[in-house]
Structure 1
Amino acid sequence: MAKVVTMGEIMLRLSTPGFEKFIQADEFDVVYGGGEANVAVSLANYGHEAEFVCKVPANEIGECAIAALRKMNVKTDNMPIGGERLGIYFLETGASMRASKVVYDRAYSSMSTATVDDFDFEKIFEGADWFHFTGITPAISDLAAEVTEAALKVAKAKGITVSVDLNFRKKLWSSEKAQKVMSNLMQYVDVCIGNEEDAEKVLGFKPGNTDVTTGELELAGYQSIFEQMVDKFNFKYVISSLRESYSASDNGWSACIYQAKTKEFYHSTKYDVRIVDRVGGGDSFAGGTICGLLDYPDDFRKALEFGVAASALKHTILGDFNLVSKSEVEALMGGDASGRVQR
């Protein structure tokens, strides 16, 4: 069992019931989530020691966010308390050709106004094997970007493996600013995870003729940019999820990986997924792939297959968190995609 630390912003998610549009909704369903928190939950489900770090407000909503993590066996021992509020996002779930929509209400949140002095990273990283962050955290504020780099410096000094999910969010920052900030942070990263849009918007690499809006994939283009990314940033692995968007309800889902040491490129099994809840799908892929790299250190192909299967299952679960067990993921990896009732 490895100790994995993730850091970011946990948020209150308010989603319309079923597939209602915002204008139809008289109430919202409540869950908690956020990129790095979702990864921590996945890893705890798979048996690893997962700790999440975030600043939350000293009120009942902050307490509820912490409780949601503790319920999933995620450690929250080093969470600073203070600030004005917990960030919120509103979700309208799409269907068929109607896309899902997200509206953020996270300005002046506790995490966005946190400073380096709020965190004792020497203590946080005691005994840690892995540290994971996403491009969302440095995007929420300049202060959060400073906190992220401070954490990365300590993690790297301690020899901890570092992974990033690039996660470009156009509602939080521009591509120009993302490239400036994130390119600097890549010097600390060992494992780079993202998708085709992230690679282009965050680091400036576009994989051939791939079109994120149609899901048309050109795998040779991915291998080429992975090699370029390794040359520029010295990553050990570059990994991309591959989403073929048939509609908001049905996607093809697979992934590819490049190992710098052997210069090998691998494309995973593809799953055709009927989507129940897409939010958190990429996070579940990151969490599953991290688990795979930890549990199958000599087989990066199997590690990727674990991540893809885990995230395919997450698309069938409501809420941000992936609630599947390791045995359920392994059953799908073994070919059991029948969906038959388990008695």
Structure 2
Amino acid sequence: MDKVCCFGELLLRFSPVANGEWIRQASMPVFVGGAELNVATALAYWQVPVKYSTALPENSLADDIIGYVADQGIDTSGVVRFGQRIGTYYLPQGTDLKNAGVIYDRAHSSFSELIPGKVDWDVILQDTSWLHVSAISPALSMNVAGACQELLAAASAKGITVSIDLNHRARLWQYGMAPDEIMPGLVEHCDVVMGNIWAANALLGIAVDEHIHAKGQQTDYVAHALATSEAIQERFPRCKVVANTFRFDAPPAGLRYYTTLYVDGQQYVSTELFTESVVDRVGSGDCFMAGLLYGLYHKHAPQEVLDFATVAAFGKLQEVGDATGQSVADITKRIHTLTSLT
């Protein structure tokens, strides 16, 4: 059976209550995640055949985690075992990954020890029709970036569809190379690119209007998404689909959200969604990516693909944890409700 293979670092997220309350409670929730695993978990829940590839050490903690991943219906045959550590990060409850409060503890993890030639990618890509990666992995080191380049080239040579999430984590790019020196060599192998106009600028050097926030209207952002999508496709001819997301805080605690999808020379735009409060921001973008893959994998119509991904991502904002537990029926029902209101 042809599967979607999601490749990236598995991370443990420690989520302390702010202001030291976690010390007084002697308790700190831990979530098994990582951007690509979050995508894989959603796809498995939505009955898309999926496997996960990462690097983990040979120890009992990693054994427990692999068992947990397998229990989600994910093929773990792509997990390779070497090294000593599992990557972790700390994020106080209620904050965002892009917030300065995130503390990474990923140095010397098994995944960070990837180097070109270390993994037989032909074995990893067995029974795979689609490979999904993100920009987080090549941000870790030149060696990991080289391994990613090796993987994407192997997938491209096999005719495997490749998607990438342009997650921009500026605090991870610390090894002397600018993102736009590394990422274009990876994106040239990709059929599907998801991100936003700012990530495309930071990672690919695609121009961004520095005054776009001053304009501030949805029509301005949507027009910019179109220009960015066209520029990406012009520069990377293999790319067939570009998706952009827009997520803005709406004080005091709310959020507004909308997205675009560019395919076959046409841009599709989602409904703008608004919530007065957010439970957990982590994993919303991963949920959008999973929704995008779900629709494209099943060859749904572009607007249907976009609506599913958008409503899924928006729903994830009300879930605790890294990966979504929303069913296809849940998401479809909310889409129908929104359609009836417009």
- Fold-level similarity (TM above 0.5): yes
What is residue 312 of structure 2 aligned with on the other side? 310
CA contact (8 A) 1:83 1:114 kept: no
Most deviating of 42-51 and 111-120? 111-120
Distance 1:32 1:298, change over 3 A: closer
Report deviation, 1:25: 2.3
Report deviation, 1:130: 0.8
What is residue 22 of structure 2 aligned with on the other side? 25
Runs of 4+ in 1 over 4 A off after TM superposition: 214-217
Distance 1:215 1:140, change over 3 A: farther
CA contact (8 A) 1:16 1:29 kept: yes
Most deviating of 62-71 and 307-316? 62-71
Q: What is the CA deviation profile of residues 178-220 of structure 1, one whole-angstrom value per residue up to 9, with x for unaligned ones?
A: 11100111110111001232112111224434349x8975211
CA contact (8 A) 1:58 1:83 kept: yes
CA contact (8 A) 2:229 2:242 kept: yes
What is residue 171 of structure 1 aligned with on the other side? 171
2-structure distance, mates of 1:183, 1:7 = 18
SS class of match (1:83)? coil
Give 1:310's aligned amino acid.
A
2-structure distance, mates of 1:56, 1:71 = 17
SS class of match (1:238)? strand
What is residue 226 of structure 1 aligned with on the other side? 229
Match of 1:330 among 308, 329, 332: 332
Q: Does 1:205 find its partner at 2:206?
A: yes
Distance 1:215 1:57, change over 3 A: farther
CA contact (8 A) 1:95 1:248 kept: no
Report deviation, 1:80: 1.0
Unmatched 5+ stretches in structure 1: 338-343
Report deviation, 1:123: 2.1
Give 1:299's aligned amino acid.
A
Distance 1:317 1:215, change over 3 A: farther
1-structure distance, mates of 2:173, 2:53 = 23
2-structure distance, mates of 1:4, 1:271 = 29
Match of 1:265 among 261, 264, 267: 267
Report deviation, 1:258: 0.9
1-structure distance, mates of 2:5, 2:68 = 17
SS class of match (2:257)? strand
SS class of match (2:337)? coil
| Structure 2 counterparts to residues 33-112 of structure 1, below 5 A | 33-94=33-94, 101-112=101-112
What is residue 9 of structure 1 aligned with on the other side? 9
Q: TM-score, normalised by structure 1?
A: 0.89
Alignment size in residue pairs: 329
Unmatched 5+ stretches in structure 2: none
What is residue 137 of structure 2 aligned with on the other side? 137
Report deviation, 1:172: 0.4
Distance 1:215 1:177, change over 3 A: farther
Give 1:42's aligned amino acid.
A
CA contact (8 A) 1:91 1:100 kept: no
CA contact (8 A) 1:6 1:39 kept: yes
Give 2:38's aligned amino acid.
N
Distance 1:48 1:248, change over 3 A: farther
CA contact (8 A) 1:56 1:82 kept: yes
Q: What is the CA deviation profile of residues 249-281 of structure 1, one whole-angstrom value per residue up to 9, with x for unaligned ones?
A: 32111110111x3x1011112221331110111
Q: Does 1:282 find its partner at 2:285?
A: yes
Distance 1:298 1:311, change over 3 A: closer
Most deviating of 23-32 and 302-311? 23-32
1-structure distance, mates of 2:278, 2:217 = 16
2-structure distance, mates of 1:25, 1:73 = 32
CA contact (8 A) 2:94 2:281 kept: no
